[in-house]
Amino acid sequence: MKTSIFTGAAVLASFSSGVAAQGGAWAQCGGQGWSGATTCVAGYTCTFVNNWYSQCLPGGAASTFTTTSTAVIRPTTTLVTLSTSRTSSAAVPTQTAGGKFKWFGVNEAGGEFGQDTYPGVWGKHFIFPDNNAVRTLINQGYNTFRVGFAMERLSQNGLTNGFDAAYLRNLTESINFITNAGAYAVLDPHNFGRYFGNIITDVDAFGTWWNNLAKHFLLNERVIFDTNNEYHTMSQDLVLRLNQAAIDGIRSAGATSQYIFVEGNSWSGAWTWNTTNHNLRELRDSVEGKLVYQMHQYLDSDGSGTNPNCVSGEIGVQRVVGATRWLRENGKVGILGEFAGGANSVCQTAVKGLLEHLKANSDVWHGALWWSAGPWWGDYMFSFEPPSGTGYVNYNGVLRQYL
Ligand SMILES: *[C@@H]1O[C@H](CO)[C@@H](O)[C@H](O)[C@H]1NC(C)=O
Ligand SMILES: *[C@@H]1O[C@H](CO)[C@@H](O)[C@H](O)[C@H]1NC(C)=O
């Protein structure tokens, strides 16, 4: 989103109080500082995830991924359809016919809320995703969740100093819940290329920040690193160098199995990508095939995503065709990391057209993420929070066709 439209907890979810004797399905059941139940309800086993987190997983730990992964994880080799650049047709399994995205899901906003209050108070200024809502979406086949957080809360005393343990722990729990359920979790520092309001100009410090963060997620292949949300109104060369520093910092931490999403200037807009962000073709990753260009696109007249009306039923396609061509001509792949439309038929047509275009070009477009789910959206026009978010009610049927 171009602007922060939400600065605090307008809607407070009701929390169940008291500690259950046994953890429910998917509940936390252990970890450093944990004082709640350490056993799980029937059918679930308390499973060690990391030092901060154990979780009630179905059956034993070993059965978890085999029972859920068929629904939500699609092996890389079966995902990309009919790339014209592929020379061996044998490399494309027959079951890919029809085109599937590798990543299809939603943003999860909340950890970055309260941008005028740092560090702020959990439950008042910011919140993390609601695991039950995430589970509801995963059960339907959504497999990617972009989790927003604030660098100022994680790094309260400068980019190269230590992380706040409690914020990191809560963020990690959200990430692990998603990845333990077999989905991808995108770490999204929702910072617009800024830290405490100032454009980040210390490129080395930014690389160090990413190096330190990547160390915490080294062993989790379903984590995706998103260098920063929506750089804007800053030097194009700086955007290139910040992205490169992030890539290098992540890889030198030893995180070599994960994908990295880079974003561009001008709010990472797809509609201006080919003129604004052309220099980002120069980004280099020491790991082959794991660098993905994340673009955003809204369909209202100024492209800001602040109006429920879309320009026309064709605007979705019109605004991304230039980016599609740019990706293909430069040998890159992309993901549409934010898109949405209001609850009206023009937007529904535009969103369907957009997704059909991305699907038809799934050699270069590997996924799309709706803006946005999250526990505090209330009646926000794009809310994809089940069961009653406006976007969820109006677009779940549309989006599910692309799972
Ligand atoms: C972390 O989450 C717990 C609830 O699980 C909450 O009590 C605590 O305040 C949170 N802390 C931060 C920094 O997010
Ligand atoms: C960028 O893409 C648009 C379509 O969105 C196209 O009209 C324009 O020619 C492209 N510009 C460049 C420099 O490729």
Which amino acid appears at position 368 of this protein?
A
Nearest ligand 2 atom to alpha carbon 271: 5
Ligand 1 lined by 170 (C-beta under 6 Å) = yes
Residue with CA closest to ligand 1 atom 8: 122
DSSP label at residue 196: T
Q: In a 3-state reduction of DSSP, which class is residue 293? A: strand
Please give the radius of gyration of the chain, using alpha carbons only, rounded to the nearest integer.
20
Ligand 2 lined by 256 (C-beta under 6 Å) = no
State how far the Cα of 44 lies from the Cα of 62, in Å rounded to an integer.
12
State how far the Cα of 105 lies from the Cα of 341, in Å rounded to an integer.
15
- Helix H or strand E segment including 274: helix 273-276
Q: What is the pLDDT of residue 75?
A: 30
Beta-bridged to residue 127, according to DSSP, are none
Q: What is the pLDDT of residue 8?
A: 41
- Helix H or strand E segment including 298: none
- Helix H or strand E segment including 46: strand 44-50
User: Catalytic residue at 314?
Assistant: no
Q: Taking the CB of residue 25, how many other CB atoms lie within 10 A of it? A: 15
User: Catalytic residue at 329?
Assistant: no
Among candidate residues 112, 152, 173, 230, the one labeled active-site is 230
Ligand 2 lined by 357 (C-beta under 6 Å) = no
Helix 390-399 / helix 345-360 crossing angle, nearest 10 deg? 40
Segment 373-392, tens digit of pLDDT: 999 999 999 999 999 999 99
Q: What is the pLDDT of residue 114?
A: 97
Residue with CA closest to ligand 2 atom 10: 322
* Ligand 1 centroid distance, CA of 141 (Å): 29
Q: Taking the CB of residue 351, how many other CB atoms lie within 10 A of it? A: 25
Residue with CA closest to ligand 2 atom 8: 322
Task: Identify the segments of the chain with pLDDT beneath 50.
Answer: 3-20, 61-98
* Ligand 2 centroid distance, CA of 90 (Å): 34
- Helix H or strand E segment including 353: helix 345-360
State how far the Cα of 259 lies from the Cα of 4, in Å rounded to an integer.
27
* Ligand 2 centroid distance, CA of 99 (Å): 26
Mutate to test the pocket of ligand 2, among 315, 325, 354, 357 (most ligand atoms within 8 A of CB): 325
Q: In a 3-state reduction of DSSP, which class is residue 261? A: strand
Before 387, cis peptide (omega within 30)?
Answer: yes
Q: What is the pLDDT of residue 27?
A: 66
State how far the Cα of 401 lies from the Cα of 142, in Å rounded to an integer.
11
* DSSP characters over 104-140: EEEEEEEET--TTSSS--BTTTB----HHHHHHHHHH
* Ligand 2 centroid distance, CA of 106 (Å): 28
DSSP label at residue 343: S
Beta-bridged to residue 44, according to DSSP, are 58
Please tell me the pTM assigned to this model. Answer: 0.80
Q: What is the pLDDT of residue 79?
A: 28
Q: Taking the CB of residue 165, how many other CB atoms lie within 10 A of it? A: 11
Q: In a 3-state reduction of DSSP, which class is residue 94? A: helix
State how far the Cα of 143 lies from the Cα of 370, in Å rounded to an integer.
12
Which tokens hold the place of 153? 């809360």
State how far the Cα of 214 lies from the Cα of 210, in Å rounded to an integer.
6
* Ligand 2 centroid distance, CA of 325 (Å): 8
Residue with CA closest to ligand 1 atom 3: 170
Ligand 2 lined by 330 (C-beta under 6 Å) = no
Residue with CA closest to ligand 2 atom 2: 322
Before 372, cis peptide (omega within 30)?
Answer: yes
Candidates 290, 205, 219; CA nearest to 249 is 205
Nearest ligand 1 atom to alpha carbon 164: 13
Ligand 1 lined by 166 (C-beta under 6 Å) = yes
Ligand 2 lined by 322 (C-beta under 6 Å) = yes
CA 22 remoteness from chain centre: 31
Residue 350 burial by Cβ neighbours in a 10 Å radius (0-12, 13-18, 19+): buried
